[in-house]
Chains A and B, each alone.
Chain A
Amino acid sequence: MADGNEFQLNPTSKLDELEKGPWPSFIKGFKETFRRTGNTMIRGALDQLNYSYETKMGYWKGGVVGVHGYGAGIISRYSMISDLFPEAKEFHTVRIQPAPGLHYSTDKLRELLDLWEKYGSGLVNMHGQSGNLQMIGISQDNVQEFFDEINKKGWDLGGAGACVRTSASCVGPARCEMACYDNLKVHHDLLTYFSDLVHRPQLPYKIKMKFSGCPNDCTNAIQRSDFAYIGTWRDDIKVDTTELANYFESKGLDYIVNNVVTRCPTNAITLAGNTIEINNKECVRCMHCINVLPKALSPGDDRGISILVGGKGHLKVGNMLGAMMVPFIKADTEEDMEKLQDMMDEFVDYWAENALDHERIGEFIERIGMHQFLEDMGMEATLDMVSHPRDNPYFKAGHDHDPLKNIQQAAG
């Protein structure tokens, strides 16, 4: 230890290498805060991290630390080598739900930082991959008091374990012209509605929801979440013909052809003299042309949400992307929100009752099959759910199915 001087760091030759270079250095930051506050937990964490860099192994283990009434939100971390580095013997994380879209006012954020400096290490993670504001490094003795103090200021804990997890949203209608629904409000209302499931693990495994204002999917919802809420529209792309003409003028015909017309994934755009024509029946709402010509093109007015279900990370069956389950649902009124909540309740309840331990909803649907899932959920099969009808010949349909009935009805 450092001669009893609490403001002096121990040698960390490996980590010091990370102070070099043009990108902001987290090691420099940690050292700065230790030198100012003398919080020995930071020194302990640096010492242990440097030891990890020397031995190429990690030394944290989990445990159980929580706050009164909740079963989640605190990630406990105990050092396995506290005999070597006793200053970071306990180094727990507090997961806090930020406002949707990761928007902050400085007065609310400063309140949090002041309390964190009082009760914790002063190290902050902005943000965790699920969207939590993560305060890293606090001892068990301080956890309850810290939570009570921040809870008084309007902050609540996030999810961990077999819970509804803290959610993430893009910047949304607060600053983006492409946002097709108020994803910040839907995020806020749904996560508040599911508070009990956020705070008390009682599910087969985690559920993540993410809210992207448009199909550009800036929150990576389709890949990262069990329920991806992607803003979309049903009517035609809006065209500002003056601005479109300006783009032709400023960008030139080659650019428009090579970057707009030929890049449309369904060839829904054709060149028509000095302008373009969009066949909206063929448009799949990919956003590309709107991204390239944001002044001239914008999403239509009949806006809502597409919900994709089943996205998840690698373990245990490999990466899965979410698949279209609800092609369009409105989210404008309080009535729409209630419908959305009821639908989510049905999804979650059905999965929670029937899934295996540690089985995400995507894996669950794959195991029981889409037929069973749709039947049990009372959902109608639609072509939006698949890339194409099946090519696998092994299927069973009921003997009472009459393929001519619908054709005759259509003809008659």
Chain B
Amino acid sequence: MAKREWDTIESGPPDHMQMLHPVMVKNYGKWKYHERPRPGVLKHTAESGDVIYTVRAGTERQDTVDIIRRFCDLADKYAGGYLRWTVRNNVEFMTDSWESVEGLIKELEALGHPIGGTGPSVSAIAHTQGWLHCDIPATDASGVAKSIMDIVHDEFISEEMPNRVKLSTSCCEINCGGQADIAVIIQHTRPPRINHEALHAGICELPSTVARCPVAAIRPTTVDGKPSLMVVEEKCIYCGACFGACPGMEINHPDYSKLAIWVGGKNSNARTKPANMKLVCHGLPNNPPRWPEVGDVVKRILAAYKEGGRDWERMGEWIDRIGWKRFFEETGLTFDMYMIDNYRHARQSFNQSAHVRF
């Protein structure tokens, strides 16, 4: 490589004011209200009377220079040369002309990008990297996301849910996908297999691997006269935390790494406080390339919520009203012992009352 002549500028994030449509610069911090003229389109009105429309479209999320350049072409043609992304990987184009809104919708749809994800719709899935790029995944993320979004496509392009629905997928139990109304997360069902050869070779720091375990199930031991680790299998909760610290703690398995479904997570403070999601289905097979069993469960949950939820009720709020018993009845899912918390503070989730729905 040639001698380096550039001195790094630690510039941090670029200045957002250089990245905004002129109407947004002019009315920065002076917006008055917004409306939704149709699914996938927002209309914001400023105190000055100026209007800016937003067209929101679903994307691959694992994109390419070609895909993004096409978005840039559309932004140049219709949106003054500016665009943005949402935290759920949707692309947004802003324009002050309704003709441009129509042009954007037509061209985006022709390119295969669905217009939607606004209001009470099912927005795109927040997902992780999976087999495509992560070093600890037990499943793919983009493939699961694509398969589920194919199923819920019609709910992305319409606004027919009781309230917005956020989905996420995660390919290990770290859950980078995050809390969501419905989340699909890897669930290991066996303790890690210990690769003593790798541990002997010094692949990882043994004390920090011991310290990583949430239930103190990992202990130092000697194997073939050399220091290694052992797992107390009765204590192990199959979480895979040790695998992140040490690749020799092989938790991933083609058959024993399965998928679990969690519901009722909520990030917004609207009405109820933010909430963690709850386990409603586990042990589903990790079944690429389409994960049909997962898709079926997600579909059942969405159908029951769409049918029974009232206006503005998020998934968790709907379940709070009808009760978990009816949630399981209406989705056809089965409650079992493993859905009762057994970790710290578990008592907080016990029914410490005489309240029962018969």
**Per-position binary interface string of chain A over residues 77-101, scored 1 when its CB falls under 8 Å from any chain B CB and 0 otherwise:** 1000000000000010100011111
Q: Which of A306-339 contact B (CB under 8 A)?
A: 313-319, 321
Q: A117-B65, A220-B179 given as contacts; is B133 within 8 A of A104 (CB)?
A: no
**Per-position binary interface string of chain A over residues 26-40, scored 1 when its CB falls under 8 Å from any chain B CB and 0 otherwise:** 100110110010000
Pick the residue among A26, A58, A156, A295 that contacts B252 (CB under 8 A): A58
Docked Cα-Cα span, A32 to B67, in Å, equals 9
Q: Which of B315-338 contact A (CB under 8 A)?
A: none
Q: Nearest Cβ distance between residue B79 and chain A, in whole angstroms?
A: 9
Interfacial chain A residues near B177, Cβ < 8 Å:
129
A373 touches B (CB below 8 Å): no
Q: Are B268 and A216 touching (Cβ within 8 A)?
A: yes
Q: A101-B16, A105-B18 given as contacts; is B10 within 8 A of A77 (CB)?
A: no
Q: Which range holds the interface residue count of chain A?
A: 35 or more
Docked Cα-Cα span, A36 to B69, in Å, equals 14
Docked Cα-Cα span, A295 to B31, in Å, equals 11
Q: Are A319 and B175 touching (Cβ within 8 A)?
A: yes
Q: Nearest Cβ distance between residue A111 and chain B, in whole angstroms?
A: 11
| Count of CB-CB pairs between chains A and B under 8 Å | 358
A371 touches B (CB below 8 Å): no
Docked Cα-Cα span, A220 to B1, in Å, equals 43
Q: Are A32 and B15 touching (Cβ within 8 A)?
A: no
Q: Are B64 and A24 touching (Cβ within 8 A)?
A: no
Closest residue of chain A to B166 (Cβ to Cβ) is A220
Q: Nearest Cβ distance between residue A287 and chain B, in whole angstroms?
A: 5
A217 touches B (CB below 8 Å): yes
Determine which residue in A176, A291, A313 has the highest number of CB atoms from chain B within 10 A of its CB, and name it: A313
A49 touches B (CB below 8 Å): yes
Docked Cα-Cα span, A101 to B29, in Å, equals 14
A106 touches B (CB below 8 Å): yes
Closest residue of chain A to B85 (Cβ to Cβ) is A102
Q: Nearest Cβ distance between residue A74 and chain B, in whole angstroms?
A: 13
**Per-position binary interface string of chain B over residues 261-296, scored 1 when its CB falls under 8 Å from any chain A CB and 0 otherwise:** 000010111111010100000000010111000000
Q: Are B270 and A216 touching (Cβ within 8 A)?
A: yes
Closest residue of chain A to B72 (Cβ to Cβ) is A106
Q: A21-B146, A286-B269, A314-B173 given as contacts; is B289 within 8 A of A102 (CB)?
A: no
Q: Which of A182-213 contact B (CB under 8 A)?
A: 182, 184-185, 187-188, 191-192, 195-196, 198-199
A235 touches B (CB below 8 Å): no
Q: Nearest Cβ distance between residue A293 and chain B, in whole angstroms?
A: 9
Q: Are A60 and B271 touching (Cβ within 8 A)?
A: no
Q: Nearest Cβ distance between residue A100 and chain B, in whole angstroms?
A: 5
Closest residue of chain B to A287 (Cβ to Cβ) is B270
Q: Are B247 and A191 touching (Cβ within 8 A)?
A: no
Docked Cα-Cα span, A357 to B12, in Å, equals 26
Docked Cα-Cα span, A52 to B352, in Å, equals 46
Q: Are A174 and B13 touching (Cβ within 8 A)?
A: no
B62 touches A (CB below 8 Å): yes
Interfacial chain A residues near B15, Cβ < 8 Å:
99, 188
B189 touches A (CB below 8 Å): no
Pick the residue among A174, A177, A356 that contacts B16 (CB under 8 A): A174
Closest residue of chain A to B275 (Cβ to Cβ) is A321
Closest residue of chain A to B23 (Cβ to Cβ) is A175
Determine which residue in A45, A110, A174, A184 has the highest number of CB atoms from chain B within 10 A of its CB, and name it: A174
Q: Are B212 and A98 touching (Cβ within 8 A)?
A: no
B309 touches A (CB below 8 Å): no
Docked Cα-Cα span, A57 to B60, in Å, equals 23
A300 touches B (CB below 8 Å): no
Q: Are A218 and B87 touching (Cβ within 8 A)?
A: yes
A56 touches B (CB below 8 Å): yes
Q: A155-B14, A188-B12 given as contacts; is B267 within 8 A of A33 (CB)?
A: no
Q: Nearest Cβ distance between residue B116 and chain A, in whole angstroms?
A: 11
Determine which residue in A56, A176, A215, A295 has the highest number of CB atoms from chain B within 10 A of its CB, and name it: A56
Docked Cα-Cα span, A55 to B6, in Å, equals 45
Interfacial chain A residues near B290, Cβ < 8 Å:
17-18
Q: A22-B150, A174-B28 given as contacts; is B14 within 8 A of A99 (CB)?
A: yes
Q: Are B66 and A101 touching (Cβ within 8 A)?
A: no
Q: A124-B65, A151-B8 given as contacts; is B140 within 8 A of A52 (CB)?
A: yes
Q: A188-B16, A215-B268, A315-B174 given as contacts; is B211 within 8 A of A57 (CB)?
A: no
Interfacial chain B residues near A357, Cβ < 8 Å:
208, 211
Q: Are B87 and A220 touching (Cβ within 8 A)?
A: yes
Q: A70-B8, A106-B81, A171-B84 given as contacts; is B20 within 8 A of A32 (CB)?
A: no
Q: Nearest Cβ distance between residue A79 and chain B, in whole angstroms?
A: 11
Q: Are A56 and B271 touching (Cβ within 8 A)?
A: no
Interfacial chain B residues near A154, Cβ < 8 Å:
11, 14
Q: Are A93 and B312 touching (Cβ within 8 A)?
A: no
Pick the residue among A106, A126, A185, A358 that contacts B61 (CB under 8 A): A126
Interfacial chain A residues near B244, Cβ < 8 Å:
315
Interfacial chain B residues near A98, Cβ < 8 Å:
13-14
A403 touches B (CB below 8 Å): no
Q: A24-B59, A77-B135, A174-B20 given as contacts; is B65 within 8 A of A122 (CB)?
A: yes
Q: A32-B64, A125-B61 given as contacts; is B132 within 8 A of A49 (CB)?
A: yes
Interfacial chain A residues near B340, Cβ < 8 Å:
none
* A→B interface (CB under 8 Å): 14-15, 17-18, 20-26, 29-30, 32-33, 36, 45, 49, 52-53, 55-62, 67-70, 77, 91, 93, 97-110, 113, 116-117, 122-129, 131, 136, 141, 144-145, 147-148, 151-152, 154-156, 166-168, 170-177, 179, 182, 184-185, 187-188, 191-192, 195-196, 198-199, 215-224, 230, 255, 258-259, 263-265, 285-288, 291-292, 294-295, 298, 313-319, 321, 356-358
Sample of 23 A–B contacts (CB below 8 Å): A15-B143, A18-B147, A25-B60, A26-B142, A33-B64, A60-B133, A99-B19, A103-B16, A104-B19, A104-B84, A109-B68, A109-B72, A116-B65, A124-B65, A156-B11, A176-B44, A187-B13, A195-B11, A217-B268, A222-B267, A287-B270, A317-B344, A321-B276
* Shortest beta-carbon contacts, A-B, top 5: A21-B150, A192-B12, A56-B254, A52-B131, A173-B29
Known: A103-B20, A175-B24, A177-B31. 20 other contacts (CB 8 A): A18-B147, A22-B150, A23-B58, A24-B58, A26-B60, A29-B60, A29-B67, A36-B66, A56-B286, A61-B135, A106-B75, A106-B83, A113-B69, A129-B178, A136-B133, A217-B267, A220-B178, A287-B270, A288-B270, A288-B312
